Amino acid sequence: MKKQIPAYERVKMARDAKRPGALEYIAAICGDFFEVHGDRAYGDDGAVICGIGKLELPDSRELAVSVAATCRGRTIEERVRRNFGMAQPDGYRKLQRCLAQAVKFRRPLITFIDTPGAYPGKSAEERGQGMAIAECLYQMSAAPIPIITVVIGEGGSGGAIALGVADRIIMLENAVLSVLSAEGFASILWKDASRAAEASEVMKLTAADLLEHKIADFVIEEPEGGASETPEVVIGRVRDRVRSELGDLLRLSEAQLLERRYQKYRVIGK
Partner 1 sequence: MPNPFSERKRALDFLKALRQSVGKKKSAAQQNITCKHCKAEHELSALADAMYVCSQCGAHLYIPAKERLLKLFDGGQFEERFTEIAPRDVLGFPGYSKKLAEQVSRSGLSEACLCVTGKIGGFGAVCAAIDIKFMMGSMGTAVGEKITLAAELAQSERLPLIIFSAGGGARMQEGIYSLMQMIKTSAAIRRFSDAGGLFISYVTNPTTGGITASFASLGDIIIAEPGALFGFAGPRVIEQTIGEKLPEGFQRSEFQLEHGFVDAIVPRKEMRATLARLLMLHSGGAAL
- Residues near partner 1 (CB under 8 A) are 118, 120-122, 124-131, 133-135, 137-138, 141-142, 157-158, 161-162, 164-165, 177-180, 185, 188-189, 202-205, 210, 213, 215, 261-262, 265-266, 268-270
- How far is it, in rounded angstroms, from Cα 251 to Cα 256? 10
Q: Would you say 52 or 249 has its CB closer to partner 1?
A: 249
Taking the complex as a whole, how short is the minimal distance between the CB of residue 130 and partner 1, in angstroms? 3
Q: Would you say 20 or 184 has its CB closer to partner 1?
A: 184
Taking the complex as a whole, how short is the minimal distance between the CB of residue 226 and partner 1, in angstroms? 22
Q: Would you say 144 or 223 has its CB closer to partner 1?
A: 144
Taking the complex as a whole, how short is the minimal distance between the CB of residue 215 and partner 1, in angstroms? 6
Taking the complex as a whole, how short is the minimal distance between the CB of residue 259 and partner 1, in angstroms? 10
Taking the complex as a whole, how short is the minimal distance between the CB of residue 131 and partner 1, in angstroms? 4
DSSP annotation string for the chain: -GGGS-HHHHHHHHH-TTS--HHHHHHHH-EEEEEE---SSS---TTEEEEEEEEE-TTS-EEEEEEEEE---SSHHHHHHTGGG---HHHHHHHHHHHHHHHHTT--EEEEEEES-S--SHHHHHTTHHHHHHHHHHHHHT-SS-EEEEEEEEEEHHHHHTT---SEEEEETT-EEESS-HHHHHHHHHS-GGGHHHHHHHHT-BHHHHHHTTS-SEEE---TT-TTT-HHHHHHHHHHHHHHHHHHHTTS-HHHHHHHHHHHHHTTT-
Q: Would you say 110 or 205 has its CB closer to partner 1?
A: 205
Q: Would you say 70 or 178 has its CB closer to partner 1?
A: 178
Taking the complex as a whole, how short is the minimal distance between the CB of residue 234 and partner 1, in angstroms? 23
Q: Would you say 93 or 237 has its CB closer to partner 1?
A: 93
